Amino acid sequence: MLKAVLFLALPAFLCASCLAGEGLRVQGNQLLAGGKPIMLRGVAVGDPILARQGRPLSDYARIARDWHANVVRISLHPSVWENMPHAQVLETLDREMKAALDNGMYVILDWHTIGWPNGYYEKIEKDWTDDPADLYNSNFDLAKSFWDAVSAKFGKDGRIIFELWNEPVRAKDEDEEETPPEWEQMKPYFAELLRIVRSHGGNVVLATGNDWAYDLRGIREDPLKGENVAYSWHIYANTDDDDEQQWAEHLDELQKVAPVMVTEWGFQEHTDESFKGTPQSFGIKFVRDFLEGRHLHSTAWCWHPDWTPVMLKADWKTPTPMGRFVLKYLAAPTKMGPGGSGYSRS
């Protein structure tokens, strides 16, 4: 493995350009910080209001220092925005994101809906959680309200990436063997959210395809218009039976024309959930052939002891098997980028 070019003026876990206040921008298929290509690798922490109640902000120092992350993904569920005072939500997001930024990491802020704008959204079953049934509410006016308020408050800080819609998904027809690409139908909604964000700032935004953000087919030929647009991709163990050819078909070589950030990926060894897997069945080949082999940015899901697939045990300190795998990956040098230009992790 070729060594990455690192900034040596600071410890490796700190992001020199981030601490200097330099924002990110998109150039072709690369993310740039301070005019130089950067590879973002880190973890997702979930919703600070629903997942991190009572957790200290020092968690972000641990993620940067001990987990070697230079980016963290923070989510906000639609039901929280719908039911809590907006000023309180924004204050919480500000506090959490500032803690991450102060520890030299970039931040992805994610609108954590699962569903289709003004249509289907995934309902929460009351027999297994106390979360509200409309946790993933896909009301589009609610999303527009959120991004208007968020971009007005944080749109001048280019270190924050806005992930506009977590997972677009329609209710699947039981007779339908495979969900077809639906970028053409989803694209106008992303364009409207992008217009709202651009009225306040130039932050990098993430758009995505349907089928729980797995199907990116169609985007490469018809990308979202505008500057600083990148794309998110979600993939877990057992997706398409761990068939790398199917993974590649759904990625559709989008990374050749725009930055792709895998904002959710993971596996869990002992579970009845669909993402059951191991490093041998999923993790090793996904990291080798996709994250590194195709130069994809990433945040592993989830740095939490309960939100699955879990990277931490109940003490919030001991990593699970997936956590150990992610730790090893994040500590490894970043590969050289396409064309021989070195990516920096700092």
> Which pTM does this prediction carry?
0.92
Q: What is the 3-state secondary structure (H, E, C) of the chain?
A: CCCCCCCCCCCCCCCHHHHCCCCEEEECCEEEECCEEECCEEEEEECCCCCCCCCCCCHHHHHHHCCCCCEEEEEECHHHHHHCCHHHHHHHHHHHHHHHHHCCCEEEEEECCEECCCCCECCCCCCCCCCCCCCCCCCHHHHHHHHHHHHHHHCCCCCEEEECCCEECCCCCCCCCCCCCCHHHHHHHHHHHHHHHHCCCCCCEEECCHHHHCECCCCCCCCCCCCCEEEEEEEECCHHHHCHHHHHHHHCCHHHCCCEEEEEEECECCCCCCCECCHHHHHHHHHHHHHHCCCCEEEECCCCCCCCCCCECCCCCCECHHHHHHHHHHHCCCCCCHHHCCCECC
Q: What is the pLDDT of residues 165-182, one digit of tens each?
A: 999 998 765 556 678 999
Q: What is the pLDDT of residues 230-286, one digit of tens each?
A: 999 999 999 999 999 999 999 999 999 999 999 999 999 988 888 999 999 999 999
The reported pLDDT for the residue numbered 333 is 84
